[in-house]
Structure 1
Amino acid sequence: METLQSIISFILNDLGAAVFVPLLMLIIGLSMKMKFSEAFSSSLTLGIAFTGMSILINYMMTSMGDAAQKLAQNTGLSLPAVDGGWPGMASISWAWPYAFLMFPLTIGINILLLMFNKTKTLNVDMWNVWNKIFTAVMVSYITGNVLWGFVAASIQIILELKAGDMWGPEVEKLTGIPGVTVPHFVTLIATILFPIDELLKKIPFFNKPLDADSLKEKIGIFGENSVMGAIIGFLLGLAAGYGFSGALQLAIQAATALTLFPMVSKLFSQALSPISEAISDFMKNKFSGKEVYIGLDWPILAGRNELWVAVIITIPVLLIMAIILPGNTVLPFAGIINLSFVIGALLLTDANLGRMIFHGVISAPMFLYGATYFAPYITRLANETGAATVNEGKLLSWSTFEGPDIRLLFSTAFSGNIIGIVLLAAWMGLFYWMYHSKKKYNATIEND
């Protein structure tokens, strides 16, 4: 056990995603009979793409996040739960004593489902195993049973793989990269947004194309990535109290990020297309054309500027909700850039900016109440593991708590709560409905 824990620690902490994933893709490429020079070049380019995108995301999160946090500070509001954001949650999750067991569980379930043709997704996004750990901890704390925690995490692994199958054609459409998908837990928010999205499609304004390209056609220069970024950055800077010069600086920073995101995202296509073709050819020759998607982390979608426009526009909404919602204890701070809705909304709506923003607005209370509900359990995990120090009278939480719906339902259902069991079954029914609806939609994409 100690050896396994050391290996996992080395992969996650010492190598990191920008090294580990390209190494894994090099092995996969060579296994698919690629020439070493081609496999090495593709893997190296993938490492460059991940590093470049990470730099840009951190740049955006720092510049926009600092402004958003300043906006939060300007409210003068004091709430007891400190927002640690997703990095804080990941850190304390890996400190859980049983965390290392989630790594082989994730790989084992994936291999079994591939062997029995129950998924097309080979998930190589091992960093986000922490998300399954986090679910297991929350469920085990609330139910008082570690086994239920691992059962919930196992179901989550299966749902993520099925989501990967479902999103594959959409990811290719949005990124231009064949044979990849995003089996990330954060996309499962689309499950409860799906019926709302189906209603929005019937409303004239929301059922017309409204991605970055169509927006550019409608409003000209104001739809340019750089101009949109500059306008949003300037307005956020003014709202944060930066003054005119500070707002102008933030405008340039936002314009820079939104201009560079699509450029860096092309590196993913350059890196992954040769590997995807090799996998496709191998599967056709060996397994009668069996299709496999490579499951990667969500940053392969970060080149879509609709994602960043929607998430920045909803920052003030999240902050206002935190102030006015009765019973909320969390002031958005470290997690104020709400990636927890926007990636699922991007995939669900086919990058329709109007519907994405609508989903961000209506889902804000769910994230805040989820953060409030789970705050005592997050605080307990931090204190028990020693991963963070939370002073008495304070709580640690995450304002844009990923998957508050399904994590709450896992916890209540496995505690024997009848309403929780019924609602979990209903959630699964919604997922089934969305899955089959997207399969029909995917068939139209593939036929085009």
Structure 2
Amino acid sequence: MQILSNVVRYIISLPPAVFIGIVMGVLCLVFGGGIKNALRSACLFSVGMTGINLIMSYCVGEMQSIATALSTRLGIELSMIDGGYGSGGSGGSWMFPGAIPALCIMLVINIVFILLKWTDTMWTDVHNTWHGIYIGLLIYALTGSVLYGTIVAIITLVIMLKLGDLTAPTFQEFNGTPNIAVYATSATIPAIFTFFVMKVINKIPRLKDLKADAESIQDRFGIFGEIMVIGMLLGIILGILAGYNFKNIMMTGVVMSATMTLFPKMAALICEGIVPVTTSVIGFMNKHFSGRKLNVAVDPAMLLGDPSVMASFVILVPISIVMAMVTPGIAFIPIASLAGMPYWIGGVVPYTKGNVVHTVICMSLYIFLASLVATQLGPIVTEAARLTGRMTEAIASGITIVSWDEGGSFIGYAFVKLFKLLGLSVL
């Protein structure tokens, strides 16, 4: 069992771009796509995800510097530290003792659900099972019970499965990617939240009819509506707000412009890589299962291609900082967690149809609630980090660690409240 556990942990520890590329290539082969298509699909996926990760790292690094500068200028000093993915995330999740059993049971559940027609998606995105397993880790930290944590992890993964099925049609239609689904709650929970918020927005005169998607903005403002120019202008404004000198202001503008220009191109590579896989799956299902539809689960990076994603991200960074400053109940400045925000937005824009104004409204509300939840879950996130050997020096000094994703999870919060109500908390 230990050998199997080590092998699984090693495979899952592969960089997402490598892991997903291998999985997509193997899938294409298994479903009869041939070596040529399998190799092409694997390369396109890996190159696209690598490009997105590189651009994301560069952009997020710049935005984190701006966030730090803004918080310093505004004199914000809060009691908790944003650990981001470093406080747990995909690495720490797999150190949870119940992680491998939860993963294996979930894969069996997925097969059973497919056979019973309770789902139409193969959970090929094994890497992102960490989102559900991290919730199990939180319950382990809260209760001290591996069993409770494992059960919660499995329940959360089943919830993720159904949320993936629920959001798949909207994600597919907006992004033009048939037969794909996303299970990561970093995309699906904000998506479901936005679905309900848009019900309200669509009842408000003028606001509901406001055209603010990339195409409408460009038609209205000409050259100043082009996403490349918008990125430059937003970057310059943020640089000024951060108190940068002229050189750094202009560099921030270039970084934002490059980000908004290159992101869709990298996402397009991933979309191209999907085609051989989904074509093979469709052909196989038509031949053997009377044309039944079957989706392929992919990384939420798939959802980052629309220009409104990064445009909204740049606008939301200062909003997040100011929100932390003025809102009672939020005890941290979101800086490290900014790396997860684009994935939230990627799940939101299919429901706002790429409308930047609607996206900013929905995301501001979501960030507000997630930040409140993250503050309340801080002590549990800190204990989870300690148990998995993360940020040990900071924790030993008495610092409380928080994070947005999954440390600000609504699902995790609900389970924590349930176990406390049952009197099973040891914290």
The TM-score, its normalising length taken from structure 1, stands at 0.87
How many angstroms apart in 2 are the aligned matches of 1:375 and 1:72? 20
| 1:92–1:388 contact (8 Å) kept in structure 2 | no
Deviation of the 1:399 alpha carbon = 4.6
Deviations 1:286-323 (A, max 9, x none): 10111111111111111112111112211122111211
- Of residues 264-273 and 324-333 in structure 1, the stretch that sits farther from structure 2 once superposed is 324-333
Structure 2 partner of 1:405: 410
SS of residue in 2 equivalent to 1:314: helix
Q: Quote the sequence identity (%).
A: 27
Instruction: Pick one of 384, 389, 398 that aligns with 1:393.
Output: 398
For 2:30, the equivalent position in structure 1 comes to 31
Distance (Å, rounded) in 1 between the aligned partners of 2:80 and 2:396: 11
Matches within 5 A, 1:184-223: 184-186=184-186, 187-208=188-209, 209-223=211-225
CA deviations on 1:16-53 (whole Å, 9 max, x unpaired) are 22222222222211121112112212222221111111
Deviation (angstroms), 1:349: 2.0
* 1:130-149 correspondence runs (5 A): 130-143=130-143, 145-149=145-149
For 2:208, what is the secondary structure of its paired residue?
coil
**Change beyond 3 A, Cα 1:215–1:29:** same
2:348 pairs with one of 338, 345, 348:
345
Change (3 A) 1:380 1:399: same
Alpha carbons of structure 1 residues 20 and 364: separation in structure 2 relative to 1, 3 Å: closer
SS at match of 1:82: strand
Write the distance in 2 (CA, Å) between the matches of 1:255 and 1:321.
Answer: 25
Aligned to 1:226: 228
Matched, 1:111 2:114: no
RMSD value, Cα: 2.2
Distance 2:87 2:127 in 1: 14
Task: Give the match's secondary structure for 2:396.
Answer: coil
Q: Please tell me the residue identity of whatever aligns with 1:77.
A: I
Q: Structure 1 residue 364: deviation in Å?
A: 2.7
* CA distance in structure 1 between the partners assigned to 2:130 and 2:119 by the alignment: 21
1:289 match: 291
Alignment-derived partner of residue 438 in structure 1: none
Give the CA deviation at 1:403.
5.1
Q: How do 1:255-274 and structure 2 match up within 5 A?
A: 255-274=257-276
Q: Which amino acid aligns with 2:40?
A: S
The answer to whether the Cα contact below 8 Å between 2:304 and 2:343 also exists between their aligned partners in 1 is no
Matched residue type, 2:326 = I
Alpha-carbon separation, structure 2, partners of 1:395 and 1:353? 34
Instruction: Show the counterpart of 2:120.
Output: 120
For 2:405 and 2:24, how far apart are their aligned partners in 1? 32
Q: Cα distance 1:99–1:318, how it changes in 2: closer, same or farther (>3 A)? A: same
Give 1:402 shift. Answer: 5.7
Please tell me the residue identity of whatever aligns with 2:142. Answer: I
1:175 and 2:152 are equivalent in the alignment = no
Confirm or deny: 8 A CA contact 2:87 2:385 kept in the other structure.
no
Q: Does residue 76 in structure 1 map to residue 79 in structure 2?
A: no
Give the drift of 1:173: 2.8
User: Could you say which residue in structure 1 is the equivalent of 2:324?
Assistant: 322
Judge conservation of contact 2:93–2:99 (CA < 8 Å) in 1. Answer: yes
Residue 202 of structure 1 and its aligned partner are, at CA, apart by 1.6
How far apart, in 2, do the equivalents of 1:205 and 1:253 lie?
A: 34
1:253 Cα deviation from its structure 2 partner? 0.9
Is 1:55 matched up with 2:51?
A: no
Give me the whole-angstrom Cα distance separating, in 2, the residues matched to 1:265 and 1:139.
35
Aligned partners of 1:66, 1:127: CA distance in 2, in Å? 29
For 2:33 and 2:355, the matched residues in 1 are separated by 38
- Distance in structure 1 (CA, Å) of the matches to 2:38 and 2:191: 35
Residues 74 and 336 of structure 1, relative CA distance in 2, 3 Å threshold? farther
Q: How many residues align?
A: 417
Aligned match of 2:337 in 332, 335, 350? 335
CA distance in 1, matches of 2:184, 2:418: 23
Distance (whole Å) between structure 2 residues aligned to residue 92 and residue 372 of structure 1: 19
* 1: CA distance, partners of 2:254 / 2:21: 32
State the match for 1:308 in structure 2.
310
Q: Which residue of 2 aligns with 1:88?
A: 87
The aligned counterpart of 1:150 is: 150
- 1:177 CA drift (Å): 2.5
Paired with 1:299 and 1:105, the residues of 2 have a C-alpha distance of 26
In the aligned structure 2, how far is the partner of 1:347 from the partner of 1:109?
Answer: 28
Unaligned 5+ segments in structure 2 are: none
CA distance in 2, matches of 1:341, 1:268: 19
**Paired residue type of 2:44:** T
Aligned mates of 1:41, 1:344 — CA distance in 2: 27
| Contact 1:185/1:403 (<8 A) preserved | no
Offset of residue 168 of structure 1 = 2.4
Give the stretch that moved more between structures: 111-120 or 334-343.
334-343
Per the TM alignment, residue 201 of structure 1 is displaced from its structure 2 partner at its CA by 0.9
User: Which amino acid in 2 is paired with 1:200?
Assistant: I
